[in-house]
Structure 1
């Protein structure tokens, strides 16, 4: 399940985020979104966990967690509607 992690501190690293989620279960991918011009964090990331149960635990456990001075928001990433 792909998760959207928002309201990240600009100082939170991709490795720190990966480790936070890996404490709950296996992490397939962790992508901190960076500004192409500055290389700095845009304050959100996508984390993919292969087990739905682990992803749901991560949402419940980590949503509103204080991380590096910011209360992060964790929810299931919505996929854009596909045109038929």
Structure 2
């Protein structure tokens, strides 16, 4: 299942996101979206988890969690 993680702090790293989601199951891919010109985070990422049950647990646990002072939002990404 592919999840969209929004409202990330610009300082949050891809590794931090991977660690956060890995606490709830296996993460096969984590992509922090960067601005092409500045190389800085755009404040959102995609996380892919192969097990739908683990992905749903992660979604529930992390949605509205405060990460680096921002309350992140997690939802199932549109395919």
Alignment TM-score > 0.5, same fold = yes
Whose Rg is larger?
1
Q: Which residue of 1 aligns with 2:20?
A: 20
Question: Which segments of 5 or more consecutive residues in structure 1 lack a partner in the other structure?
Answer: 80-84
In structure 2, C-alpha distance between the alignment counterparts of 1:47 and 1:19, rounded to whole Å: 11
Question: Which segments of 5 or more consecutive residues in structure 2 lack a partner in the other structure?
Answer: none
Q: Which residue of 2 aligns with 1:33?
A: 33
CA RMSD of aligned residues (A): 0.4
In structure 1, C-alpha distance between the alignment counterparts of 2:34 and 2:67, rounded to whole Å: 18
TM superposition score normalised by structure 2: 0.99
In structure 1, C-alpha distance between the alignment counterparts of 2:56 and 2:45, rounded to whole Å: 17
Q: Which residue of 2 aligns with 1:10?
A: 10
Q: How many residues align?
A: 79
Q: Which residue of 1 aligns with 2:62?
A: 62
- State the Cα distance separating 1:18 from its structure 2 match: 0.3
